[in-house]
Structure formats: C-alpha cells, structure tokens
Amino acid sequence: MSYLAHNTQHVPTGLRKIWYINWPLVMLISAVASAGFLMLYSVAGGSTSPWMEPQVKRFGLGMVLMFIVAMVPIWFWRNMAFVAYAVSIILLLGVEFFGEVRMGAQRWIDLKFMVLQPSELTKITVVMFIAAYYDWLPLEKTSRPLWVALPVIFILVPTMLVLKQPDLGTSLLLLFGGATVMFLAGVHWAYFATVVGAGVGAIVAVFESRGTSWQLLKDYQYRRIDTFIDPSNDPLGAGYHITQAKIALGSGGWTGRGFMQGTQSRLNFLPEKHTDFIFTTLAEEFGFVGASTLLLLYLLIVVFCIVSALGNRDRFAALLTLGIAMTFFLFFAVNMSMVMGLAPVVGVPLPLVSYGGSAMLVLLVAFGLVQSAHVHRPR
Amino acid sequence: MKRQPKDIIASSRTISRRALVLGTSQIALMAVLGWRMRSMQVEHADEFRLLAEENRINIRLLPPARGLVFDRNGIAIADNEQNYRVVMVREDAGDVGEVLARLTEIVDIAPEDLSRAMEEMQRRSPFVPVTIAERLTWEDVAKINLNTPALPGISAEVGQSRVYPWGADLAHVVGYVGPVSDYDLSRIDDQDPLLQIPKFQIGKTGAENKLEHTLRGSAGHRRIEVNAVGRVMRELDRQEGDAGKDVQLTIDNRLQTYAQARLDGESAGVVVIDLEHGDLRAIASAPSFDPNLFVRGISVADWEGLNADKYRPLAAKAVQGTYPPGSTFKMITALAAMEDGVVTADETVYCPGHTDVYGIRFHCWKRGGHGNINLHDSLKQSCDCYYYEISQRVGIDKMAAMARKLGLGTKHDLPLSAVASGLAPDKEWKSSVRGEDWRIGDTVNASIGQGYVLASPLQLAIMTARIATGHEITPRLVRLIDGVEQPSGRGESLGLNENTLRRIRAAMTDVCNNRRGTAYGSRILAEGYEMAGKSGTSQVRRITPEERAAGVTRNEDLPWERRDHALFVSYAPLDNPRYAVAVIVEHGGGGSSAAAPIARDVILQALYGGAPPLDAYPASQRDKIDQQQRRIEARIPMGAKSQSRA
C-alpha cells in the first residue's frame, strides 16, 4: 500500500465531503462573479440581457461542475491528466482545421450545445499534465536535461497551436502556467535563468539592431511593435482603446461615478466593455474603493489556494493547486496591467468577471480541481 | 507510484519554498497594480475626469433671433420669417431611395437638391439629420406631416430666415444678409463664435451690415452629451442667447416707396431729409434690386444681370454716387462771397454771355448774356458769369470752407454701405493730391459746381437743409435702437449772417415761384406748402469751341451716357421749412425739367403724408399729374404684394 493510499484512508467519503470543501474559497469566487454580474448589468445599460443573464446561467452550471469535480478523488484526476491533455491538443488541432473564424481569429469550435474555446481548456490541462508528470517523475531526475526537455515540449506544442490562432494572451498564459509548475516542482534555477537571459538577450538584440545593417526585423514590424508597446503613438488607431480605457479608469476617482453612471462605458467610448475592458467600467463606476476591493478579492483567492497547497503533502495536488492559482493570478494581473496601460493589449479577459462562457466554465472546473485536492488531501 | 516519506518531505519542502518565492512576487506585482490604480484614480483623477467630460460633452451654439428693422411708423422693413425645411435621418428611413421617391411625389423638390442630399447622407453618420429642401410652403409642410407614416426618417423643421417685405424699394437702405464667407472672416476682426456656424447669416450691405452688432445679438449655447460616434444622447443644459436689438429707422416707408416708384425708369436718386431732427425720410436710388435674392443665394444669371445693367442697380446713387453739383453749388459761392464781404446783395455784375479769364473763355448758359445782374436774379436765372466774377473775388479756399460748412466734401456718418465723401476742392487739395498748382480757371469752374467739385445727393440735401434753417443739420438714419431714441441731427446755428441767408432763400423761392425762375414749371400752388429750390445741370463732357460755333448739340440728340446730369435741390414750406430734398437724374438733361418735377412730387408727398390734392399743382399740369399719380398708386401695392408673398 502506497503512502498516499494509506493516508487516504482518513479522507472523507460520500456526501460528507461537502463539509470538507474550502468554503471561504467558494464564497470569494461567488463574490467576484457577482461583481461581474453587476458590471454586465451596468454595461448593458441596466439590463440583464444580453450579457448578465447568460453569464449567471453559466456560472450556475460552472458551480455544479465545480462541485462534481470536487467530489471526485484527486487521484482520479491525476490519472486522467494525460487524457485531458491529449483531448485538448486534439481540440486545438480541430480548431486549426474545422474551427470557426470570429473577430479575425480562429478560436472557437461549435459543439452544438455550446461554442467551445479549446484554448481556454488548454490553460488547465497543461498545468494538470505537467503536475502529473512531476508527480510521476522521480525527484532526483527533476533537473536532468532530458527530463526537463520533455515538459518543455508538452508546453510548447499547445502554446504554438494557440499562438497560430492567433491568441497571444492565451499562449503567454500557457507558457507561464506550465513554467510555473516546472519551477515549483524544483527544476534547477539555472534553466530558468538561462531562458530568461536568452529571452532578454533576444529582445535587446532585436531593438539594438534597429537601424543598423544587421537589422533583424522589417521596418513595418518595428512600427507594429512600437504601437504594441506604446499605443499612445497611435491615438486614433490602436491607441484609442487604451486611451479611452485609462480615461475611464482614472475618472473614477476615489469612490467612482456611481453605479450605471460611468459616462465612458455608457456612451460607448470604451471598447470591449463587457469582455476584456470590463475592469475599466468597474473602476469608473466604483472608483478606487471598488477597484481595489476587487483586487483584494483576487488576492484572497490566490492566497487561499496557496495556503491550501502548502498544507497538502500530495505532490500532484500541491503542484496542480499552485499551478491553477498562478494561472488565475496571471489572468487578472495581465488583464489589469493591460487596461491600466502597464502592459500591451494582448486580449486576456478578467477571470470570473468578463463575459465569456468557456473561460468561466474552465475556471470553475479548475477551482473544482483545487477543491478536490483540498477535500482529498492526505491527513 | 511508490514514493518514500523522505521524498515526500523533500518534495513538500521544495514546493513550499518555491511557492513562497512565487507568492511573494505575486504580491509584489499586485502592489504595483494597486499603486498604479491609486496613482490614476486618486492622484490624477481630476485630469482623467476632465478628459472624460471633454469626451462626452459637446457645446452647440444657439443662434439668436436677428433684430428687426422698422420704418419710422413701425412697419417692418427687415423681418424674420419661419423657414420650413425638410430633413431626413438616414438610419430612420430604411430604404432611402424609396422614401425620397415618395417625398418627391408629395412635394416638389429640385433634382439637384435631391442629389446633394443623397450625397451628403452617404458622407455623414446615419443619425445626422440632413436638409433636403428649404423654404417649403406651409401647404408642403402640412402634406409632409399628413404623410408621416409613409415617410420614415423625414421631418419638417422650422428655422428663421431674413425677409425684406418691401423688396427693391429699400434695398439700398436696409441692405441684405447672407451666409458668412471666408472672405468676411478674413476681413472682419470679430471673435464672435456665431460666425463659426456654417451659413450663419450676417449683414452684407446697408444698415444690415453697419448695424450688424446691434442686430445680431449674442449666442446662446446648449451643452449636449454625445456618445463615442457623436450621436446626441441628451441635452444637459441650455442657455438662450440674447436676441438682436430691434432698430427703427427714420425712413418713412410710404414716402420711400413713393420715391422709388416716382424714379421708375430713370437712373436717379432722391434724398428727403426733415429739418427738425435731420431724419432721412427717404433715400431712393433707381433702379434697385431685390435683396431677397441675396438672402436665398443669388443665381449666377441674376448676379450677372445686375452687374451688366448700365443703370447700375447695385449702386446706391443717393448716398454713394457723386456728381458735379452744377448750379446747385451757386448758393455756396454766393454765401462765401457775401460772408467775405467781396460782394453785396445789390451789387450788379455785367453778363455778356461769357467771361474771359486769362485768355480762356467761360460761357454762360445763356448765349446772349443776362446783362447787369445782381445776386437775386443770378440765382433765379442761374446766370453763370455772375459767379465767375464773384468767385475770383472770394477765392477757392473760402468757397471750399463754405462748402464743407454746408456739408459737402465730408463723409457723413450713416450706417450705410459706401457713403461718399464727395469733394470740396481747394488749393491744398490740388497740390497734395494732383501735385499741381491751383489755377484761377479751376476756381471759375468750381464757382458753378463744375470742375473738381463733387457732391452726392445726400450732401446736397444736407446743404439745402442747412441753408433753409441756418443750423447745422446732420443726417440721422437710426431713430431708435431697442426703444432708445438716438441723438437728434439738429445742431447749433452755423453762424452765418441771417440777412445773407434770407437773401439766398428769397432767390431760391423765386427760382420756383417767379415767372422768370428756372423751375417755375415745378412750383407748388397749395398755400403754406410752397417750395424753394435751385436747379442744376452738370456737364459730363467738355463743349469744344468748334462745337459751340456750330451750335451746341441738344441733350436729346446725344447718347445717354453723354447727356448732362439733372439736379435739383429744394425745401418746403417757404416759411418754417420742414423738408429738404435733393434729386439727381443721371444724364437726365436739364435740372429744371428732369429733376425739379421729381423734387416737387416727392416733397408734396412728404408734406401731405400721402398723395397731395391736385390743386397743389399748376392747373395746366393737373391732368398729367393725375395720370402719373394713378400709375404710381398702381405700382406701390407691389411692395405690399411682396409682403404677402413673404
């Protein structure tokens, strides 16, 4: 009998598991999602349609899925990790060949009852699979080059597929999510240092070569990068959105302009106000108080996940929980940096708040995994 | 797989350590986000709030209603009328082409208006109302409103536009308005934001132009909230502007209309000034034009027609035209000489029909000469030699000073376009402007209002008014602004010798009332209304000695442009005069035959406040006058018709 099997004898069974669910985390998630409902109601001009109502339904469905996933023992999910990963790769390939083109990108696959965005699913399955990989891998092999190369490939394959859609934001999340799990699993510092160093070197080389005889990119590509980094160079084109977003956010002040009183969103100055830029509406209408409260709720979710992981001696469970927490963190950190003008606009939604079915469902399933790890932790 | 407890502890330890590293960096990153949020929302909130307001709030100007212009009896001569226009909102119309087709079935719309509107609608956002046609009749508006269900997106709107009910009769006085042009903007230094409104109407000529600031009023504004594509969401607030001030002119519309009608067919001008306040009762110039053409945007054909007309309808001859005053200047020469004491009233000068000055022969109009002639008879019979003589005694500078004293050679301050300053020449003028010395011949020419002397009918009317009253009468065109009476034009005494003036007036009385007076044919018989005056005939060509020897060609045989100008100045009644009149008939021939009857008819109209009784005229002329009255009566309602058309 394995150590795990021995210890899981004390794991609760049946409906009693409900008592062992991490309820504060459920509360936090519900609170953030409710803030989302409120904002979707507001940006629709005080109406539950077209965004709030479907979002509430999806959240309900997602919560049911979360509880189902939480009830299933974590080792089942560990065994399913490879299958999940394989399925998501197949779906990504399916998108590549049969996907629907919307808004200039090929991201969606029509499952008849809902339109699925496989790249969303991939965010979780990659983390899951890498966590399972390190759970399987003997500790002493963790930093051996060959055993490091393997998960790098596992990460890069879906990353490249997503990048091709093209969806820069999601591919970055995949890359960082996977790398986080590798880092947590104990892969030697030197690997990360090398990659970071090489990346920085490449970027410096690209910029340093500009205007010289060995210029690495074409001029128009540089111009595109310029706009990408600093959209204010192009105030009527790409810069328009970010400028308007910053105006909305800044004009909120301490307490905001009041619920449904945000002029920037109500008068359509804000782009994508129900999806990627929903945070600016919240910041405009509820001000610094509202925006920092949301930031605090996110922080608490991350902290609860980390605390849960630190108390979990099961390697897969801990890695998975931390990986999901990190992915979740990257989600909102990138989104917020983006709308505040700290990072280029890469198209990452605000988790649990932005309108969108796949992201909502996948995130809740991910939190289901976190709950499963929490409920079934070795005692 | 199996894992040793040692491994599990090692694994947990690594994960914990690294999770703490990650957790710390996460919190650090969130601190950055929080700091950034604070910086934007707390420290720079005001700047962003301002930007947000600039985004959403547009300020639209509300043009004020333009002030109206009335005549002295309160009759509107520049009015604002409701201008109905039909506008279309593309997004409400559905099938634009079909709706427009239906609209053209209901009301007449010019094809070019239609295509312009179509083009504009394609260019503008779908929610912007585009004007399809303007100046619809009330019936058209009613038809459109009745068919509203079949005309989605179409609506009738009402605005204001300027209308001149009396059309051509007051065109030269009141002028006209038109849309502000780039040329206007470059020419006038005016920061009024109203001028930035496309097609904003400003005064272009006449009183409309000169009283622009009084009539225009000030802009109101409304603040509106717009969304990202510029659609108006709601009005936040509105502040009405101040309407322009109403102006009452001194013009008597009835008299003005009569004068215009009386001048019909001539190229002529008349000024009637009252002697109480210097009020200009009528300033008629013929031919005239319809100012309403300009408000609506004059067509090229109309514009070219006006410019090509040799009678120059666009020129306000009464105030803008300058002419050699001819014999009407003789009062000035006489006054200058009498005031200077170089001649007495009873002194006679011999007129042989010509005067030789340093070898140049100056002719009197009467070839045989007048014989011995004194001041009184020289004016009555308009002897030229008398003035050739006395002008040499008094000198040009004193004559010019007297001319200026009586209102010639100076620009009178009136709110009209192009008020002529005329010319009262003197030695200094000739040397500084022409660079030549003054010659005695110039003085001789000037003495009978020829040569360099130039005066407008307005100036001649003022001259007559001053002679009639002995006071400094200055013309007044604006009686009330916003109900406030403007200063009277009756000034102080001119300080001329009253005895001398009386002599001049007596001579002018005989011009019209003595059988030997030049304008005896244009006398007024009605007791207490008799007129005094002076005729003038000014040459526009030089009569050569050869022509004179062969016999001077009669005016009637010359082409129009070479005929003499006919002038007449007069005042009435004789004692206690009330009105002074000056008439110019361009190339009209003799002053007493062409201009004097007009002066008499106009002054009678002014004195009676309407048509005078026929027995005010000499019995022999009554039939002719009666016909003329009827003809003019038939024409005057034309002005009233234009009002009903408006």
Per-residue pLDDT of A118-149, as tens digits, reads 888 899 999 999 999 999 998 888 889 899 99
pLDDT in tens, A40-80: 999 888 888 888 999 999 999 999 999 999 999 998 999 99
Q: Mean pLDDT, to the nearest integer, of A83-101? A: 84
A-B Cβ pairs (cutoff 8 Å, strict):
145
Q: Mean pLDDT, to the nearest integer, of B8-17? A: 86
The architecture (CATH level 2) of B253-305+314-645 comes to 3-Layer(aba) Sandwich (3.40)
Task: Please tell me the distance from the alpha carbon of residue B253 to that of residue A266, in angstroms, as a whole number.
Answer: 58
Q: Mean pLDDT, to the nearest integer, of B32-45? A: 90
Q: Mean pLDDT, to the nearest integer, of B500-528? A: 90
Residue of B36, B38, B227 lying closest to A268 (CB–CB): B227
β-pair type (B371-373, B349-351): antiparallel
β-pair type (B371-373, B177-179): unpaired
Chain A nearest C-alpha distance from B26 (Å): 8
Cite the active site residues of B: 327
pLDDT at position B646: 31
Answer yes or no: is pLDDT of B516 > 50: yes
DSSP letters of A121-172? HHHHHHHHHHHHHHHHS-GGGTT-HHHHHHHHHHHHHHHHHHHTTT-HHHHH
B560 — contact with chain A (CB < 8 Å)?
Answer: no
3-state secondary structure of B87: strand
Residue A2 pLDDT level (bands cut at 50, 70, 90): low
At position B117, the amino acid (one-letter code) is A
Domain boundaries, chain B: 67-249, 253-305+314-645
Residue of A4, A185, A302 lying closest to B26 (CB–CB): A302
Answer yes or no: is pLDDT of A5 > 70: no
Chain A nearest C-alpha distance from B121 (Å): 23
Instruction: Answer yes or no: pTM beyond 0.80.
Output: no
Q: What ipTM did this prediction achieve?
A: 0.88
Contacts with B11 from chain A: Cβ below 8 Å: 139, 186, 315
How many independent structural domains does chain A possess?
1
pLDDT at position A238: 63
Task: Please tell me the distance from the alpha carbon of residue B259 to that of residue B261, in angstroms, as a whole number.
Answer: 5
Return all residues near B558 (Cβ < 8 A) that are at least 6 apart: none
Task: Please tell me the distance from the alpha carbon of residue A152 to that of residue B530, in angstroms, as a whole number.
Answer: 121
Answer yes or no: is pLDDT of B638 > 50: no
3-state secondary structure of A361: helix
Task: Please tell me the distance from the alpha carbon of residue A159 to that of residue B476, in angstroms, as a whole number.
Answer: 90
Task: Please tell me the distance from the alpha carbon of residue B84 to that of residue B238, in angstroms, as a whole number.
Answer: 23
Contacts with B12 from chain A: Cβ below 8 Å: 313, 315, 318
Residue B84 pLDDT level (bands cut at 50, 70, 90): confident
**φ, ψ for residue A266, nearest 5 deg:** -65, -35
In chain A, % of residues over pLDDT 90: 48
CB–CB of B51 and A247 under 8 A?
yes
Task: Please tell me the distance from the alpha carbon of residue B159 to that of residue B83, in angstroms, as a whole number.
Answer: 5
Mutate to test the interface with A, among B15, B16, B42 (most CBs of A within 10 A): B15
Nearest one of B291, B284, B273, B250 to B163, comparing CA atoms = B291
pLDDT at position A9: 61
The architecture (CATH level 2) of B67-249 comes to Alpha-Beta Complex (3.90)
pLDDT in tens, A233-277: 666 666 777 888 888 888 888 888 888 888 887 777 777 788 888
Answer yes or no: is pLDDT of B109 > 90: no
B440 — contact with chain A (CB < 8 Å)?
Answer: no
CB–CB of B26 and A329 under 8 A?
yes
- Which H/E stretch holds residue A286? helix A278-310
Chain A nearest C-alpha distance from B188 (Å): 36
pLDDT at position B399: 93
Q: Mean pLDDT, to the nearest integer, of B553-560? A: 76
Q: Mean pLDDT, to the nearest integer, of B187-215? A: 84
Task: Please tell me the distance from the alpha carbon of residue B154 to that of residue B87, in angstroms, as a whole number.
Answer: 6
Enumerate the β-bridge partners of residue B300. none
CB–CB of B29 and A3 under 8 A?
no
- Which H/E stretch holds residue B9? helix B5-38
Nearest one of A350, A303, A312 to B22, comparing CA atoms = A303
B18 — contact with chain A (CB < 8 Å)?
Answer: yes
pLDDT in tens, B350-381: 999 889 888 888 888 888 888 899 999 999 88
Return all residues near A208 (Cβ < 8 A) that are at least 6 apart: none
Return all residues near B30 (Cβ < 8 A) that are at least 6 apart: A295, A298, A299, A333
Residue B603 · residue B533 · CB < 8 Å: no
- For B34, which residue in chain A has the nearest alpha carbon? A292
Contacts with B36 from chain A: Cβ below 8 Å: 340, 342
Residue B164 to residues B76, B169, B237, B304, Cα–Cα distance (Å)? 8, 9, 34, 22
pLDDT in tens, B454-478: 999 999 999 999 999 999 999 999 9
B323-349: burial string, b at 16+ Cβ within 10 Å, e else: bbbbbbbbbbbbbbbbbeebbebeebb
Q: Mean pLDDT, to the nearest integer, of B31-51? A: 89
Residues 233-262 of B with CB under 8 A from A: 233
Residue B645 pLDDT level (bands cut at 50, 70, 90): very low
Q: Which residue has the tokens 């008597």?
A: B252
SS (H, E, C) B276-288: CCCEEEEEEEECC
B188 — contact with chain A (CB < 8 Å)?
Answer: no
Owning domain of residue A84: 3-375
pLDDT at position A111: 61
Structure tokens belonging to residue B319: 């105030």
- For B11, which residue in chain A has the nearest alpha carbon? A315
B14 — contact with chain A (CB < 8 Å)?
Answer: yes
- Topology match between the domains B67-249 and B253-305+314-645: no
Chain A nearest C-alpha distance from B123 (Å): 20
Residue B281 · residue B251 · CB < 8 Å: yes
Contacts with A254 from chain B: Cβ below 8 Å: 41-42, 45
Residue of B30, B36, B41 lying closest to A252 (CB–CB): B41
